Chains A and B, each alone.
Chain A
């Protein structure tokens, strides 16, 4: 079974600082997705990475994919309180739309 690991599980960071969340997966895949979830809410799609070396940026978030290392990163630049949420990476199974999700990283940005 495809396994997806994220670290760290919990991240507390000060406003204005930079940090990176890591997502490792266990089998070959060239498609990786990042989602954000606010407490009690659904999952919001952040990034869709569809090939090796893909890099996407939106505001203070930047995601990248290295399919050879089976690694994706979500980099946070100059964090602000509004970024506080849980972030999930997901890999699809190549059999329809069955996604395997990471454990999630709970991010708290402290003023």
Chain B
């Protein structure tokens, strides 16, 4: 069974640009959530989607957005990049819609903003 797939794995952008990251969940999983990992702030929840609807959003500015498609694949977008957005962005999928869900994480997309 294929795991969670994230693309791209690495990318470099400059301040002011925007970036789109993609996540394909485990087949059959309908919940996709996104986390930002930095050395200073640790792992922080960005948002979660279930059946194309955003159910939860973390404490991040509106520059961070996401969406989920009918096949459960998800994208997140960061506009007007800032240096502080440099991080590992992790996508996780879960099979359940409730809060029983064990999260399965992808390898992450490592974003560097110059």
Contact = CB atoms under 8 A, between A and B. Distances in A.
A100 B106 CA distance: 18
Contacts of A88: 43
Nearest to A50: B100
Interface string B87-114: 0001010100111111111111000000
Contacts of A102: 42
A109 B48 CA distance: 36
Interface residues of B, number: 27
Classify the secondary structure of B's interface with A: strand
A96 B99 contact: yes
A87 interface: no
Contacts of B58: 98
B39 to A, nearest CB: 10
A42 B98 CA distance: 23
B56 interface: yes
Interface string B6-34: 00000000000000000000000001010
Interface centre among B48, B55, B103 (most CB of A within 10 A): B103
Interface of A: 31, 33, 35, 41-45, 48, 50, 88, 90, 92-104
Given A95-B55, A99-B45, A101-B35, 4 more contacts: A45-B104, A50-B100, A90-B43, A99-B33
